[in-house]
Structure 1
């Protein structure tokens, strides 16, 4: 494009922008713009773009009067072509903004996803038990030396927790989203119910005892087995043999750790010792197995295992020794 044509178009554009352009010059501007290539047109409008913010549109009657004097069939009007160029610039700006917003959304979405995938881990203490309220309103009582793990977005897509140790679950009913308790050897699936899970990693068995509702227990590994469990039944999985068993239970032994008071009515001593093991996280080694068949009636409301052992010692006349978590009865 020659310098003369470029200067002439700039002058005509100045007149157009100041609303002083006569019909004859408007025709020249129209003809000159339609002769330009896209690249030349871009160069011509670079300066106009910066100063055109102050442009005030012509009154509609004036625009109509100007159009009536133009040959509308000849070429596209300069207003339309100018607007087309501005729309291209605007589209480019919008594209940059859209890309920026897309990148921002991607980063924020990635951060939110990473945050949602982070786990919340709740550990109970060495003694006693802890109460956990999950985001869906379900309650979990954790026994000593236990941990419960669930994702930050628990309840959004599913309701799944992982348990190590022992926990008593009071699950909020939701038929659309099952509640899953995962242990190292089996998964327990429910909609709303109450049950106890015993799943210490250092023990040779995992146990689920159902108090209310119904659950399905599915083992992991190469051989999947599923059992449907009813209230007052418990499932026991032997880690050493891989055997899965279902049996009736009163749930007394399985849930005794939840209360401060341990009450026994003609219970065999083997069940008394089992309750104490569950409640205090200890292991009994008993040299005289005959004592296990004796019946015991009594109530313990002491949280101290040694106080309970002293009472049993007076009743049965045995001796005991404690080495960390192992209690030997002789």
Structure 2
């Protein structure tokens, strides 16, 4: 039943008809059925492609797989479409996008079934498989949404809101390299002969097998690598020849602005007056076994002594809103917070208890006075 529900919700997602609640439900169901993730990704890539629809080709492809299944002794039951009187057809339900989504999901299901019974693919099919393998592989999340995915090498990645992961250069053999924009938690399968490398705009992180978090949002003040288990090597791109080895419960913090590119080289330093590169310990709150740096994985928005401007960026991604400061002096106010199921209004009201400010919510924009 859950698999049927997944395909139904996925069809609605492709047709841009799924509600926020349905998208969250789809995400939760996929976490219980991770094997379907890459199949849906392939369909979504075809769906988003700009190629013109070739109805003759689709029809021929369907009949080709149908005949192969018959030869293998698998003859699907033919379902005749019921004759409907014109006035009984629900026009709004059978929109063009929905028809296309249902057709693509149905065609893909037939193809998957045929695949498992065809042991020796033809040369044409092998070439098609090679083309698909070489195609760009990318997962992106919108603000307000996070996701979990399984990479081809068996490693697991949790992608935070407003993030993007390109894993074109990773497979079951060869290189293991990904490009990250935003934030992700990695649980990497250990393979000493194939190091795993995460590239960001400012740093590269090299690992053999470990659990760690990388935060590399372009508009954040810092880029951070937080190590939970194992070991990682961090290479700073504007400092050739330098690398930093992290131990469990340590994090590397790098200033994420133009000044870091022009300031002279410096040794590791965590002074607030010279925060180019700093190595510090992960932050744990009382009675909490998960570090603040990775609390987002438990659907918690947590911050400790962070400037209001930085907190605002986190809240923008968390609640999918835009926050504007009309009183710029508030941007440097230090805030503490721990939000789970609170609404945007409840979170802002809680912050007002310790900080003197007023706010106004206009659609998806929050004005801070």
TM-score w.r.t. the length of structure 2 is 0.50
Within the candidate set 174, 182, 206, 1:189 is matched to 206
> How many pairs are equivalent?
220
Contact 1:195 1:210 in 2 (8 A): yes
Contact 2:309 2:332 in 1 (8 A): no
TM-score w.r.t. the length of structure 1 is 0.55
Within the candidate set 276, 289, 298, 1:259 is matched to 298
Instruction: Give the Cα–Cα distance (whole angstroms) in 1 for the partners of residues 329 and 279 of structure 2.
Output: 29
Within the candidate set 167, 177, 183, 2:184 is matched to 167
Instruction: Give the Cα–Cα distance (whole angstroms) in 2 for the partners of residues 109 and 185 of structure 1.
Output: 39
What is the match of residue 300 of structure 1?
339
What is the match of residue 279 of structure 2?
246
Residue 228 (structure 1) shift: 0.7
Contact 1:117 1:153 in 2 (8 A): no
What is the match of residue 314 of structure 2?
278
Relative to 1, partners in 2 of residues 1:153 and 1:257: Cα closer, same or farther, differing over 3 Å? closer
Instruction: Give the Cα–Cα distance (whole angstroms) in 2 for the partners of residues 203 and 324 of structure 1.
Output: 24
Within the candidate set 305, 329, 333, 1:287 is matched to 329
Residue 192 (structure 1) shift: 1.2
Relative to 1, partners in 2 of residues 1:140 and 1:200: Cα closer, same or farther, differing over 3 Å? same
Contact 1:171 1:193 in 2 (8 A): yes
Instruction: Give the Cα–Cα distance (whole angstroms) in 2 for the partners of residues 249 and 302 of structure 1.
Output: 24
SS at match of 1:231: coil
What is the match of residue 251 of structure 2?
234
SS at match of 2:137: strand
Instruction: Give the Cα–Cα distance (whole angstroms) in 2 for the partners of residues 213 and 324 of structure 1.
Output: 45
Relative to 1, partners in 2 of residues 1:259 and 1:125: Cα closer, same or farther, differing over 3 Å? same
Instruction: Give the Cα–Cα distance (whole angstroms) in 1 for the partners of residues 340 and 237 of structure 2.
Output: 39
Relative to 1, partners in 2 of residues 1:284 and 1:174: Cα closer, same or farther, differing over 3 Å? farther
What is the match of residue 215 of structure 2?
198
Q: CA RMSD in A?
A: 3.5
Contact 1:253 1:271 in 2 (8 A): no
SS at match of 1:119: coil
**5+ unaligned residues in a row in structure 2: which ranges?**
1-121, 262-275, 285-290
Structure-to-structure mapping, 1:1-330, within 5 angstroms:
115-151=132-168, 154-221=171-238, 223-238=240-255, 239-240=257-258, 241-242=260-261, 243-250=276-283, 252-262=291-301, 267-268=304-305, 270=306, 274=310, 277-278=313-314, 280-281=316-317, 285=325, 287-288=329-330, 291-292=333-334, 299-302=338-341, 304-314=343-353, 316-321=355-360, 329-330=368-369
Residue 112 (structure 1) shift: 6.3
Residue 154 (structure 1) shift: 1.7
Residue deviations 1:27-85, cap 9 Å, x none?
Answer: xxxxxxxxxxxxxxxxxxxxxxxxxxxxxxxxxxxxxxxxxxxxxxxxxxxxxxxxxxx
Instruction: Give the Cα–Cα distance (whole angstroms) in 2 for the partners of residues 157 and 290 of structure 1.
Output: 47
Contact 2:252 2:277 in 1 (8 A): yes
Relative to 1, partners in 2 of residues 1:206 and 1:153: Cα closer, same or farther, differing over 3 Å? closer
Instruction: Give the Cα–Cα distance (whole angstroms) in 2 for the partners of residues 219 and 114 of structure 1.
Output: 34
Contact 1:263 1:299 in 2 (8 A): yes
**5+ unaligned residues in a row in structure 1: which ranges?**
1-103
